[in-house]
Each structure stands twice: as C-alpha cells, then as structure tokens.
Structure 1
Amino acid sequence: MSGDAHPGELGEFLKARRAELSPRTVGLPDSGVKRRVKGLRREEVALLASISTDYYTRLEQGRRQASAPVLDTLARVLHLDDEERAYLFEIAGRTVAGRSGRRPAQQVPPQLRRLLDELPTTPAMVLGRRMDVLAWNPMAAALLVDFSRIPERYRNYPWLVFRDPVMKSIHVEWEQTARACVAMLRREAGRHPQDQRMAQLVGELSMLDDDFRRWWGDHRVASHRGGSKVLRHPVAGDLTLDWEALACTDDPDMKLVVWTAEPGSPSHDGLRILASWQQPAAL
C-alpha cells in the first residue's frame, strides 16, 4: 500500500544522486568532451532504466508517480545503498499508509525512564521523532548539555549540534557529527513527509545556518543506529565514546541512545570521573 508521496523531494533526490555519477561509473562511453551538466544527463538515466526520457523528466519535476519496479530499477541505476533505496521508496509514497502530519506527542514509558535512572555511570537519553530529546539521565546532561535549561521546542539533537555553543565546542569532529545529524534528519523527514514540526525545524535551521542549508541540499540519508564520537570535555578530558541507538518496542520512532567507552581505557576512566563529579539533575 502506498503512503504519503513527496514528489518535490523525490525530484531533488534523483537530481542529487545522478549528479554524482559519471558515464564511466555506470558503463556508458565517455567522449571526453566537457559536459554542460554535472554527472549523468536525464536521458542517460532513462536509457539505463529502460524508461522514456519524458517519463523520467516528469518524475524529477514531480509530475509523475513511479511504480515500485521503476523505483527499484532507478535505485540500481543510481547506485543507491540500502538507506538511500529505502528513502527513495518512502518519498515516492511506496510505504505503509496512515502517517499524517498531526501526530500525538510522544510519551516516554515509565519503564524506560527507570532504565535511564539505573545507568549512573553511563550517559543515556531517549530520542523521538525529529531526534527530539524526550528524556535523559544525569550523566547525559553532564556529558553534553543540561537539557533541563533548554526550552522544550529547542530540545532537539540536530538543533543543539548546530546552534548550541557548548555542543559545538565539545565535539572534536564537529563537522562529521553535524553532517551525520543532517543525514539522519533527512531520513526521518522521508518517513514522515507531512510532519509540520519537521518542516518548521528544517526551515529554521536552513535560515539560521549556512552549513546546515548546504548539507541539507546534498540529500544524504542515514539511519540512527550507532557509531563513535570524540569529545573534549572540560571535566572528563578527551573521550572516545561508542554510541548505540536501540529502538523501543512500543514506538519504533523512539530510541534509547547509550554512550559507552572501552573498559580500562582513559575514556572509561573519564566517564567515571564525570559520574563522581556530576550532581543528579531532575528531568
């Protein structure tokens, strides 16, 4: 069953992906003549996908819906990875219906809040739709920023990465973190194309931050699963931490994010120093 299509985003995504491919990459002859367009031409994509140029042009212009087989072929032609392929299907409306722009506010289950409290030496937080910070434990506040002092509407992880000076200063590899946030936020936007709060968030960040606006235009997508970060903390010192995002059973749009360090490492010792230093903060 089809979901909410987002034809404008579909067209922009297709343009961005074909702009990254050269004729040689996809097995087409390269005449060596300087090309007027970056990457593949529309007619070249259409040829490789065995569809008419007019059909493909209408897709990019948002004037035509694509079937699942055509999307599958385009994903192959444009060398999309698994995340990009899933995103392509979502913005084309080939997802489960029933996602509306007005959704009830997410509520963190009591058992999840208790779990946060049971992690006295491990930073942990709960992220919801749009990567909103819904709950956190004292260690997360001590490691990153005191979320309780931030107005609720700005209690959003990508917003803080781009707009909060403390969050910017502690991330040693800030650009890598910020780009990842943009890619994960775009993935969320693909899942919920009618989310009005998402549109507002993206619009505000695009107006306020040149980096966000430029990277949003790259149309990169990624899932919120896990990775590693390097932080420079004023109390705990330099920390290399692994993070993991665990989906909640009752709400797949809600994730428990946990930060850990290799046992016996300086980063592990740093977290213990931070645990002994921080004072419990009420959620």
Structure 2
Amino acid sequence: MRNLISLSDLTSEELGRIVRRAVAFGRGDVEEKPLSGHRVGIYFRKSSTRTRTSFWSGATRLGADVITFGPDELQISTGETLEDTARVLGEYLDALVVRTNEDVGEIRRLGSSPKLAVVNALTLDEHPTQAIADLATLTEEFGDLAGRHVLCVGEGNSSGGALALAAALTPGLQLTLLGPEGYEVPQETLDLVDKLSDGRALVSQVTSADEVTGPVDVVYTSRWQTMGVSKANPDWLADFEGFQINREFFDRFAGPDTVFLHDLPAVRGQEVTDEILDGERSLSWRQAHHKMTAAMAVLEWCVVGAGA
C-alpha cells in the first residue's frame, strides 16, 4: 500500500504517471476493474460536493466497494487515537480517503498503518488531488506542459499550495501566484518547492498584477474563503479589490489560446464573473470532471500500483 498525503512525497516521474493515467481515464479508458475486490473508505470531516462524490464515483467505476464516514462516525470523535483507528481500519479497508481542515500531520498519523493506503483529499495547507486534476485538464488541452505559463490569482490557499508543488515536479511549467499581501502561499511551501526542484522550479509569487508578464496560457482562480472559513479581518473583501477575474482582467493577460480554470465551488460575482466562468475559454467544468479521473488514478496507484 502507498499513501498520497502530499505531492512532496512523489517524484516527478510518479506525478507524471498519475497525471497521464487521469488523462487516459478522461478518454473513457476504464475497461478493466483494477480495484475489484478492494474496499475504500471515505472519511470527510468537512463539507464537500465534488471531491467526496468524485472519489465515490471513481472508486466504484474501478470496481471497489465503498463505505463513507461522516465527521462524528468514527471513534476518533470519542478519544481513540488516529494511530489506533488506522491500525483497525487496515484490517477492513485497502484505502482511506480523508478530508480535514487541519494540517497534514493529522493525515500522516492516519497513514501509519502499512495495511492501509491513505489519500489526502484536502488539508489546511494542501489539496494534492486537485492539483492532479488541474494538470490532467491542462495536459488534455495542451499536451506537454513544458513552456506553459499558469497565472493563479487570489488567496494562497490549499489549491494554490498544491499547484506550486505540482509545478515544482513538472519540468518547464511556469507558475505565477498572484494574491493580496497577507494572503500569500506560505513561505514554507515555497521553500519546499525550491527543495523539490533543486532550485529549478519556475514558480514565483507576487502581490500586484503589474508584476505579471503576459500573455499567459492559463488564468486560474479559486474561492477566496476556502471551505467557507471566515477570516479574522471583517473587512477582508477590501483586500481582494482588483483580483476578481472579469473580462478586463482576463483580456489583460490572455493570448489567443488562453484558458480559464476554477477549482470550484465558485462564489459568482466575487472571485469570478459569470461571463468568464461560463465563457467559451472556461475549462472549469472539464476540470471538475478530472477530479474524478484524478481520484481514480490516485486510488489505482495507491492500492495496486498500476498506471502507465
């Protein structure tokens, strides 16, 4: 069994293999049932529409039996340690998909059983399967990602952090993180990006659109309130003035083939306008589809080690 808790645990080759498999699943290449006879648990401590459903759908399409757990349905809620829970679940399940709003350490403790593959379906600091879905969407659209430039706009949240790690493991992919001062991707994540790439990553972080050199191939944004968590500053929305992806912003950095991505859910009229989210350049809905293909590729890789 193999865990996928952070993209930083993967090699560039492993990430590339998982992404290619997700793209293949997106073409409908699911004739075999590699997870037939295997059992997958889905344990979400926070709300989810796409990620929880995509893991359920992906696992069942691959032939697995699936059980879901709500936030208070495991004995963790009554005081059992994460390690003891993992040890027991390893006797019943082959994989456990976990979403929490804590740091990644909690999921690493659940990943302590050698009999149980654990998948990070979002923590406070990283959303690895979202980044895999993003790369699958862009690979399907552009092919080789070397030389492509992604502009990721908004809060430096778990999706932005994961995308930075993914870019570090994808040779030649340029990523510019643009967000208001005080809402950036944490420096420790950028330090990890540098370490993963041996200093060769084309990842930068800026706080003004004037610092971005265009045109770019991709304009990406996400919800400014990740998981709907309130911010300490009651006037935080004022800090994001000028970061909405509207027609003027998109056209400022777009070339003839530039596409738009959003990891969803979207707060329409806040971080993005309807015109952009529903426009002909938007791949957001195909990106949502690839959340399922990414889940399939990750589960296959973790449980049976497959993937080309």
Structure with more strand by fraction: 2
Work out which of the two has the higher radius of gyration on C-alpha atoms and give 1 or 2.
Answer: 1
Higher relative contact order (CA 8 A, sep 6+): 2
TM-score, scaled to structure 1: 0.24
TM-score, scaled to structure 2: 0.23
